[in-house]
Amino acid sequence: MIRLAVVVIAVWLVAAVAGVIAPLDPSRISLPDILASPSAAHLLGTDDLGRPVFDRLLAGAGVSLLVAVLTVGLSATVGVALGLLAGYVGGWPDRVIGRVIEVFLAFPGMLLAIAMAAVLGPGLDNVIIALAVMGWVGYARLVRVQVLSLKQSDHVLAARALGRGDVAIVRCHLLPLVMAPVLVEASFGIAAAVVAEAGLSFLGLGIQPPAASWGGMIHDGVRYLLVAPHLVLAPGAALFAVVVAVNLLGDHLRDRLDVTSRSTR
Amino acid sequence: MVRLAITGLLLVLAACNGRDPQAIVFAVASAPTVLDPRLASDAASERVNALLFDRLVVLDDRGEPVAQMGRWQQLGPRHYRVELVPERRAFADGRQPDAHDVVATYQSVLDPALASPHRGGLAHIESIVAVDPSTVDFSLSRDDPLFPLRLTIGILPAAQARQTDAVETPRGSGAFAFQRRSGNGRLELRRRSDGQRLVIEQVADPTMRTLKLLRGEADLVQNDLPPEMVAYLADRPAVELTTRPGTTFAYLGFNMADPILARRQVRAAVAHAIDRDAIIRHLFGGRAEKAESVLRPGHWAGVGDMQPFGFDPETSRRLLAEAGFGPANPLNLVYKTSTDPLRLRIAHVFQQQLADVGIRLEIASYDWGTFFGDIKAGRFQLYSLAWVGVNSPDILRYAFHSASRPPAGANRGRYHSVVVDRLVEEAEKLQAAQAAVLLREAQRQVHDDLVYVPLWYEANVAVSGDVSGFAPGFDGNYLALQRVMKRDGH
């Protein structure tokens, strides 16, 4: 199963790159080709403006990958930094960050992202910001808990007794140890970001037409479900495959990095 | 025993779905907002009110006035007499409408407290007097040979007409009687001639409307379907599709107060860049006709020989170059539209067609309220809208006279033409035949000035399931519901 997941992710990456470098024209309108069924001329058919669904699928792959990577990167950077600060320093910074985390967790994540996107306005950059604002909390909570436990461990106490500074302890003795769970969290975060971007674009708050995104393609295709189901099936299948594959990879990664589960196996 | 139980359960469930199999269900995109002809201004309300309330005068396919409740005669340039016809229908309470009901209705429309949107068109009525129970005299403050065209407001019983708020339970003398209305956009009426029940049900999503029609949960659908859905339904043997040329006039409007668009050269470049034939053929499936003016050529004041601004990208590029725009200095324009999917599709086609001649079009789509508010306030460069159900030549004053800028009228593009103002004003003082000459001239001037890029008249499309006898009205009205019958004989 994991091999299949790796293949799907590889195809996603290749599609994303192809969407950028291949001579495609996903936004070119061709009125005579409106709602054409899949054929040799149009591999996945055309949409309601005669644009090739295949080209738009590749362009959408690039968008989803970009949003996923940047969102997770931004969320993880902010979350890990705040988690380390809260867990290691403790005291009032921990209390403040802890309360902020609780406030964010009190809101349904997607609802918060919708509100943020509505306030910031639609667009690729604003989608990334909205999702990152929602996404850092998980990393911060995870890292804080890990650091609270690790900072009392023998190797940290030994490093402190040997006179190493706080920055060095965090960088050399804590960060490498918290990165494993962060990596697992990030893999799930990628799947969540892909779904969230598609959701926001479906609601009209994400990538704006004529740019292609999988959520936007599904949104446009829903109106033609009776007459041209390929408009929904193609991006829907792509979205489903990528999310399942990334989640499977995340599961696999967790199993590999989890020392406890490996020793009991 | 188990079979009996299942059968019983199914029967109970069937009875619980609340559907009356004898009722005709008409699925509409938007329910009427107001059931009061004095206050109705949206198309859905106008069409339903026409079923509930008879009017003194109705307009025929050519836009000419025809007596419904009353026959008129002009006693003087400013004096009209309306005689109620003896065969007029009674109100829902059984009482026959009389002159006092007519007087009360028109007086209430003129009452500022009611804030009727129709008040502006009737503001020149000086007095309304009931001469006898079946005769009403209208005195005007100015000559108005076209006054009968304005007598199209549904007549309410005097007691209801004296209310200064919207009527909740209409009791008109129309072909249908009001039964009940529920909050989910469902309206139940009863046909007075044979007691046939009619349910007007709001189903906003076109796919759901189509599915309801195919599943027999709705009997009728009219317009507001994507062209592809119409083509899909045309292939279904279970439903019948009827198409009729329509009067809904779609146009692309310019802001003449914009320093760039104030130049006719630029407007002409836009007009020549748009391939209307391709859009009609591919986007509307041929169910629209090219338009040149707001009034159809078949209208009594319509123009049949207007020279169109044809699709000519070369001319468009040349005009742009003459106006100082080119690859080094591209023309950037913002086009505002609603979030309606079909309007957005059309916007994207415009965007590409204009890009092909070197015009960069930015599409800004907003919810209806924001969009329409911006258009009325003049916050736009380009926009697209449609005039729905236009029959009266009053539209020329309303849309193009320089005194008709919002909120006084709908001259949204801030157009100012001394010639058009004079032609419209003079036409208002003449009898129909002479007025038509001036009105045609005004339309030619408007066309030549390119206030709008005239686009097309959208056809009316009706799809009927388990009923017969329904055909869409020329202006999208629902009057054919008076004759529609269930196929099983009901």
This model of the complex carries an ipTM of: 0.76
Does the global pTM surpass 0.90? Answer: no
Phi, psi (5° rounding) for residue B138? -110, 125
The residues pairing with A36 across neighbouring beta strands, listed in sequence order, are: none
The answer as to whether A251 is a domain residue is yes
- Does B15 score more than 60 pLDDT? no
Residue for token pair 């460069």: B381
> B282–A34: do the CB atoms touch at under 8 Å?
yes
Cα A137 from Cα A78, distance rounded (Å): 9
Query: pLDDT tens digit string along A195-243?
Result: 999 999 998 888 888 889 999 999 999 989 989 999 999 999 999 999 9
> Which residue would you say has higher pLDDT here, B118 or B6?
B118
pLDDT of residue B490: 44
> A48–B228: do the CB atoms touch at under 8 Å?
yes
> A226–B211: do the CB atoms touch at under 8 Å?
yes
For the ranges A155-159, A240-244, B336-340, the one whose mean pLDDT is highest: A240-244
Pick the residue from chain B with its C-alpha nearest to A204.
B339
Percent of the residues in chain B that have a pLDDT greater than 70, as a whole number:
96
- Does B173 score more than 70 pLDDT? yes
The answer as to whether A29 is a domain residue is no
Query: pLDDT tens digit string along A99-154?
Result: 999 999 888 888 888 888 888 888 888 899 999 998 999 999 999 999 999 988 99
Closest chain A C-alpha to B321 CA, distance in angstroms: 25
> A209–B344: do the CB atoms touch at under 8 Å?
yes
Tell me the chain B residues in contact with residue A29 when contact means C-beta distances shorter than 8 Å: 348-349, 352
Tell me the chain A residues in contact with residue B226 when contact means C-beta distances shorter than 8 Å: 223-224
Tell me the chain B residues in contact with residue A35 when contact means C-beta distances shorter than 8 Å: 228
> B341–A223: do the CB atoms touch at under 8 Å?
yes
For residue A15, which of A191, A241, A196, A225 has the smallest C-alpha distance? Answer: A241
Cα B470 from Cα A117, distance rounded (Å): 46
Enclosing H/E stretch for B453: strand B452-464
Closest chain A C-alpha to B153 CA, distance in angstroms: 37
Closest chain A C-alpha to B207 CA, distance in angstroms: 6
> A210–B278: do the CB atoms touch at under 8 Å?
no
Cα B174 from Cα A81, distance rounded (Å): 73
Of B210, B232, B278, the CB nearest to A31: B278
| Cβ pair B451, B262 in contact under 8 A | no
> B282–A224: do the CB atoms touch at under 8 Å?
no
The answer as to whether A8 is a domain residue is no
Closest chain B C-alpha to A33 CA, distance in angstroms: 9
pLDDT of residue B100: 96
Of A28, A49, A225, the CB nearest to B345: A49
pLDDT of residue A112: 84
Count of domains observed in chain A:
1
Size of interface A-B (CB pairs under 8 A): 46
CATH of domain B54-161: 3.90.76.10
Query: Three-class SS of residue B256?
Result: coil
Tell me the chain A residues in contact with residue B231 when contact means C-beta distances shorter than 8 Å: 227
CATH fold for the domain made of B246-458 = Dipeptide-binding Protein; domain 3 (3.10.105)
CATH of domain B18-33+174-239+465-486: 3.40.190.10
For residue B252, which of B54, B159, B346, B385 has the smallest C-alpha distance? Answer: B385
For residue A89, which of A18, A47, A143 has the smallest C-alpha distance? Answer: A143
Pick the residue from chain B with its C-alpha nearest to A226.
B207
Tell me the chain B residues in contact with residue A224 when contact means C-beta distances shorter than 8 Å: 226, 228
Of A48, A222, A226, the CB nearest to B345: A48
Of B229, B278, B348, the CB nearest to A49: B348
Helix axes A124-150, A175-202, angle to 10 degrees: 150
Per-position b or e across A31-68, b if 16+ CB within 10 A of its CB: bebbbbeeeeebebbbbbbbbbbbbbbbbbbbbbbbbb
* Beta-sheet strands, E only, within B236-370: 240-254, 288-290, 331-338, 359-366
- Contact residues, chain A to chain B, C-beta under 8 Å: 28-29, 31-32, 34-35, 48-50, 204, 209-210, 220, 222-228
Cα B438 from Cα B32, distance rounded (Å): 36
Stretch A52-57: mean pLDDT:
95
> A31–B282: do the CB atoms touch at under 8 Å?
yes
CA angle, B128 then B132 then B135, to 5°: 60
Q: How many Å separate Cα B442 from the centre of its chain?
A: 22
> Which residue would you say has higher pLDDT here, A244 or B12?
A244
pLDDT of residue B2: 52
Cα B212 from Cα B210, distance rounded (Å): 5
Mean of pLDDT over chain B = 91
| Cβ pair A64, A194 in contact under 8 A | yes
Distances (CA, A) of B83 to B98, B103, B136, B152: 10, 13, 7, 15
All residues at 6 or more sequence positions from A231 whose CB lies less than 8 Å from its CB, including other chains: A35, A45, A47, A48, A53, A217, A220, A221, A224, A225
Domain boundaries, chain B: 18-33+174-239+465-486, 54-161, 246-458
The answer as to whether A141 is a domain residue is yes
Of A31, A220, A223, the CB nearest to B206: A223
Query: pLDDT tens digit string along B81-114?
Result: 999 999 999 998 899 999 999 999 999 999 999 8
Closest chain B C-alpha to A18 CA, distance in angstroms: 24
Q: Is the dihedral of CA B199, B200, B204, B208 positive or negative?
A: positive
- Does B448 score more than 60 pLDDT? yes
> A222–B207: do the CB atoms touch at under 8 Å?
yes
**CATH, residue A118:** 1.10.3720.10
Domain extent, residue A205, equals 51-258
- Contact residues, chain B to chain A, C-beta under 8 Å: 206-207, 210-211, 226, 228-229, 231-232, 278-279, 281-283, 339, 341, 344-345, 348-349, 351-352, 363
- Does B11 score more than 80 pLDDT? no
> Which residue would you say has higher pLDDT here, B474 or A140?
A140
pLDDT of residue A197: 92
All residues at 6 or more sequence positions from B87 whose CB lies less than 8 Å from its CB, including other chains: none
pLDDT of residue A113: 84
